Structure 1
Amino acid sequence: MNGTPTVFDEIFRLLTPERLLLDPRATGEGVAVAMIDGGVESSVLAAKHPQMHPIQGAIFRNDQPQPFPYLGHQSSPHGTTVADIILTMAPRVTLYSADVFGPTGTSEVDTVIRAIRHAIDVWNCKVINLSLGVPEAKLQQPAKRAQLLRTVEEAYYRDVLVFAAAHNEHPLTRSYPAAFAPPLISVDKGLFADPLDFAYALRETVEFQAHGRAYLGPFTREPATSWATPHLSGIAARLLSLRPEMKPFEIKTLLYWMFVARQSQESKAETPG
């Protein structure tokens, strides 16, 4: 019957992003997030986010099997910008910086894999943010690709949600690990009036779009998947602070239904009468 509320209308009313993400408890408190990227400048972030927990982490090198201690000042503009987005979205997360680039600005797949495993095994992270990607042309070795896929799958089976940036030229170019979706969540860039907004926009293996602009550092006004991915990671951390025991598939489903709920609200608002 036209105009009669359905059970889905009731569900959408409960799942509105405003109701969940603006809950005063949705701060990321109690959620460990690993950021696998360049290093971060702790003093810059502490000045902007005085309520943040101290940043922890490690430095991973291609030629060393064990990570070096993170000292808080071996940083990159990219890593600091990504960390700033996560803290802007979820100011009370426990943030771990896995620096896989160092002064050379380059990294190997093996190094990224070791950092992911460290985030799971040692830091017990619930969310891993990968604002990086390896173009398909540079990951031709089947063994390396399979090893990276197994690591992503292991994270999923251990209830760790991995967010990975799609290639900025998507859908023309695939990059890894974003191309492994699912079991991870791949993120494309979009422009939204509210940074808490996002969209489910399935194209190839990329499922979600999030706000693609940043707030700190160079090139922040240029939309990029590197900036979109930590927006969605931060949103997931906010949801996890409301219900920490959620599984990756539950968080992904909740994100989808929140998007559907917003679409339903907007459709009703546009309907005359």
Structure 2
Amino acid sequence: MDVTGFLQLLQSELSSGGPDIRPYLICFHQPDVYEHCREALRYASIEHPRLGAVREEPLVYGFRCMLLAHPEDRWQAFQGDLRLEEDLQISMHAATNKPVNWQRGIPWGVRKIKAPQAWSSTTGHRIHIGVIDTGVDYRHPDLRHSLLSGINLVQRGLPPNDDNGHGTHIAGTIAASNQMYGIIGVAPRSLIHPVKAFDLNGSAFVSDIIAGIDWCVRNKIHIINMSFGMRSRSKSLLQAVTNATNAGISVVASSGNDAKRKSIDYPARYSQTIAVGATDRSRRIASFSNRGSYVDIYAPGEKIVSSWLKNKYHEMSGTSMATSHVSGAIALLLAIKPGLKPQEIKALLKRTANATRSRNNRRSTQTPGEIDIVRLLREAEKS
């Protein structure tokens, strides 16, 4: 590959300016070519400061930078060595949100999946969960014993503090542990690593998600919770998810809230993830939840109470909420069966699920079921 020509074209793109500038990912087909270009870029950026704006994305052997829209023709000479992908925006999967007055106790969803019945044998002790989200409120009393270090990809160098609330809600359902005054999550002794990839408005770029997955892989996280999605397929995001799964990490992703009957959002649609849909108190698929054959498991996702900013509690609905129940359940499982691989965990979840109910209250055996932790752990002990 003509590395000098690559750097010259890249510098020309970065110098062009104009109103139609968009973020792109430049991903190399061969790792050794990427490493060669990365080393050359580091040296070149000393003499050409504009190149310093290019961000490395080692998990997908690529770079993230701003280019003029529709760059494919201009980069045609390098198409055998790399591919270009627009760095799209991605959004949270929460449908409704309202504050509530909460005294103490176990939320209905945690009870529904039978987590309390498992706590005599497992509480998720020492299982590390990366929550790629809006950050977490480190001061919330329900999360005081559940939070470890993380990373802020929105404002790099700062702590991953939550300025939205969504991430704190997700973390509470997974691992809250305030028995006296607050709530208890599915796996109260599991450990949350907040990965802040989403801003105040609950928006992120694909490259931020990839960087978050990369951080989780490097820090040997056991589970990644991804309560977000988009309608477009991303090869770079697929590569990152595949790398995480190959590293032994269970990637749990929400299916989306568009009430689609035969389709779900990415990254949940990738076969490497555990795709989660939402149910209500009656074990019916929630009206807002995407559903169909791409969903692997359902979990409570309607009117879920959990922790919020400034020591408060909010009730939220969405497949985001369902996903956090499943992440907690996997933490309970891994604490007693640490050798299970992601695909084995997915198979166990599907095999031990309870049948969901249709709107006319009939049991549905044709669709994936709702998670049942007691059955999950019992089946795992046999293997």
TM-score by length of 1: 0.73
Q: Say if 1:57 and 1:69, in contact at 8 Å, map to a contact too.
A: no
Q: 1:58 aligns with which of 127, 143, 151?
A: 151
What is the rounded CA distance, in whole Å, between the counterparts of 1:70 and 1:91 in structure 2? 23
Larger Rg: 2
Q: How does 1:97-136 map to 2 (within 5 A)?
A: 97-103=194-200, 105-121=202-218, 123-136=219-232
Distance change (3 Å), C-alpha of 1:261 and 1:170: closer
Q: Is the 8 A contact 2:296 2:346 kept in 1?
A: no
Paired amino acid for 1:225: T
Contact 1:190-1:223 within 8 A present in 2 as well = no
Which amino acid counterpart does residue 100 of structure 1 have in structure 2?
A: A
Residue 69 of structure 1: how far off its partner (Å): 4.2
Q: Of the candidates 143, 157, 168, which is equivalent to residue 257 of structure 2?
A: 168
1:77 Cα deviation from its structure 2 partner: 0.9
Verify: 1:210 aligned to 2:299, yes or no: yes
- Distance in 2, Cα, partners of 1:49 & 1:193: 29
- Counterpart of 1:37 (choices 133, 136, 141) is 133
**Per-residue deviation, residues 252-273 of structure 1 (Å, max 9, x unmatched):** 1221232269999xxxxxxxxx
Q: Is the 8 A contact 1:41 1:76 kept in 2?
A: no
Distance (Å, rounded) in 1 between the aligned partners of 2:355 and 2:322 = 21
Pick closer, same or farther for the CA change 1:94–1:219 going to 2, 3 Å: closer
Matches of 1:106 and 1:259 in 2, distance apart? 32
Please tell me the residue identity of whatever aligns with 1:249: Q
Q: Size of the alignment, in residue pairs? A: 225
The Cα shift of 1:103 comes to 3.6
Counterparts of 2:201 and 2:258, CA distance in 1: 25
1:75 to 145, 163, 187: 163
Which one of 313, 331, 343 corresponds to residue 237 of structure 1?
A: 331
Report the CA distance between 1:222 and its aligned residue: 4.7
Q: Relative to structure 1, is the Cα distance of residues 29 and 204 closer, same or farther in structure 2, using a 3 angstrom cutoff?
A: same
C-alpha deviation, 1:112, in angstroms: 0.5
- What is the TM-score of this pair, normalised by structure 2? 0.53
Q: Choose the corresponding residue for 1:190, options 247, 263, 279.
A: 279
Structure 1 residues 157-185: Cα deviation after superposition (integer angstroms, max 9, x where no partner) = 111100111111142563211111x1111
Residue in structure 2 matched with residue 269 of structure 1 by the alignment: none
Q: Distance in 2 between matches of 1:19 and 1:174?
A: 27
**Distance in 2 of aligned mates of 1:235 and 1:252:** 12
1:223-234 matched pairs, under 5 angstroms: 223-234=317-328
Q: Which amino acid is 1:110 matched to? A: S
For structure 1, the residue ranges without an aligned partner over 5 or more in a row are: 1-16, 140-144, 195-200, 265-273
Relative to 1, partners in 2 of residues 1:202 and 1:257: Cα closer, same or farther, differing over 3 Å? farther
- After superposition, the Cα gap between the structure-2 partners of 1:78 and 1:260, relative to the gap in structure 1 and judged at 3 Å, is closer
Asked whether the 8 Å contact 1:25–1:241 carries over to 2, the reply is no
Letter matched to residue 84 of structure 1: G
Separation of aligned partners in 2, 1:21 and 1:247? 24
Q: Against the structure 1 CA distance between its residues 111 and 222, is the aligned structure 2 distance closer, same or farther, given a 3 Å change threshold?
A: closer
* C-alpha distance in structure 1 between counterparts of 2:225 and 2:164, whole Å: 16
2:269 match = 179
RMSD after superposition: 3.0
Question: Alignment partner of 1:42: what SS?
Answer: coil
Asked if the contact 2:297–2:353 (Cα under 8 Å) also holds between the matched residues in 1, the reply is no
Residue equivalent to 1:85: 173
